[in-house]
Amino acid sequence: MNGNWHSHWRHVFKLDPERDISDEALEAVCLSGTDAIIVGGSSGVTFENTVELMSRIRRYEVDCALEVSTLDGAVPGFDGYFVPLVLNTDRAEWILGHQLEGLREYGSFVPWEETAAQGYIILNGEATAAKLTGAKTALTEEELVACVRMADRLMRLPVVYLEYSGRFGEMAMLRAAKRAVNGAQLFYGGGIDSPEKAAEAAALAQTVVVGNVLYVDLVAALATVGAVKKVDGINRL
C-alpha cells in the first residue's frame, strides 16, 4: 500500500476488538468482497484484544487498518492507521491532546506513509463516542459545512468522517457534506443495516462504514457489500 492506501475504499467493515465474533463470521466478513476492515471502538479497546483481532484478520488478504483511539490500543502490524480528530467538540484533548500524547510516546515509530488523520464529525448524541468526547451533535447544515471546510480546506485532512454510529443519519446532512468537500475522502458510518441504506449512503459518501449490524444480522451486513458495488455499477451506465 502507498500514501493513497485508503483512497479506493468504497465499502468498509468496522470491527470492535471488545466484541466477540466467531471464526465463521469473521471469515465471511473478510471474504465478503469488502475493500477493508477497520478495527476500532470507543470503549474497552486494549492492546491484547486489538492484537488478537488483528492476527485473526491477518489470515485473510483484505486490507486491515486500525483506528487509534487510545494509546493502549496502538498496535503495530496493521496495513494502515487512522488518527481521529474530533472537530465538533470544545474539549481540546479530543482534537489534539491525546494525539500529541501519542506522538510524544510513539512518534518515532509511526509509519507515516500509512497513517492518515480523520476529521471526525460526530452527529449522534447517543453514540458512546459522542458522550466520551463531549461532541456537539446538534449541528445545523451550516455548522456542519463549516466543520467540513475546517477539515478539508484549512487543515487539509485526508479523510472527513460523518459519524452517526448506532443510528442511520440524515442524508441531507451527508449531501451537504458531499457538496462542501473538496480534496478529502468522505466517510459515512452509522446505522447501515440493509442494502437499501448502504446504497443510499454510498450514493453520497465515497466510503461507507458498516459496523454494528455485523454482530446482530450477519446476512444483512454481508448484503451491504454488493449494494455499494451496485451503486457504482449503476453510475457507470
Please identify, using beta-carbon distances, which residue of 73 and 189 lies nearer to ligand 1GP. Answer: 189
In angstroms, what is the minimal distance from the CB of 84 to ligand 1GP? 10
Radius of gyration (C-alpha) of the chain in whole angstroms = 17
Residue with CB nearest ligand 1GP? Answer: 189
Supply φ then ψ for residue 13, to 5 degrees: -100, 135
Q: In one letter, which amino acid is 35?
A: D
Q: Is the Cβ of residue 75 or residue 192 nearer to ligand 1GP in the bound state?
A: 192
Residue 75 Cβ vs ligand 1GP, minimum distance, rounded to whole Å: 18
Task: Determine the residue type at 161.
Answer: Y
- Contact residues: ligand 1GP, CB under 6 A: 14, 163, 165-166, 189-192, 209-213
Q: In degrees to the nearest 10, what's the CA dihedral of 18, 139, 202, 84?
A: -40
We find the least distance from the C-beta atom of residue 9 to ligand 1GP, in angstroms, to be 13
Q: Which is nearer to ligand 1GP, 158 or 191 (CB)?
A: 191
Residue 221 C-beta: closest distance to ligand 1GP, Å:
9
**Cβ at position 13, least distance to ligand 1GP in Å:** 9
**Which residue carries 471546510 as its cell?**
149
Angle at the Cα of 113 (from 108 to 116), degrees rounded to 5?
Answer: 90
Given the complex with ligand 1GP, which of 80 and 190 has the nearer CB atom?
190
CA quadruple 15, 16, 17, 23: dihedral, nearest 10: -40
* Dihedral angle of Cα 68, 69, 72, 74, to the nearest 10 degrees: 0
CB of 192 to ligand 1GP, least distance (A): 5
Minimum CB distance to ligand 1GP smaller for 62 or for 127: 127
Provide the b/e sequence for 64-97 (b: ≥16 CB within 10 Å): bbbbbbbeebbbeebbbbbbbbbbbbeeeebbee
- The nearer residue to ligand 1GP, 54 or 130, going by C-beta atoms, is 130
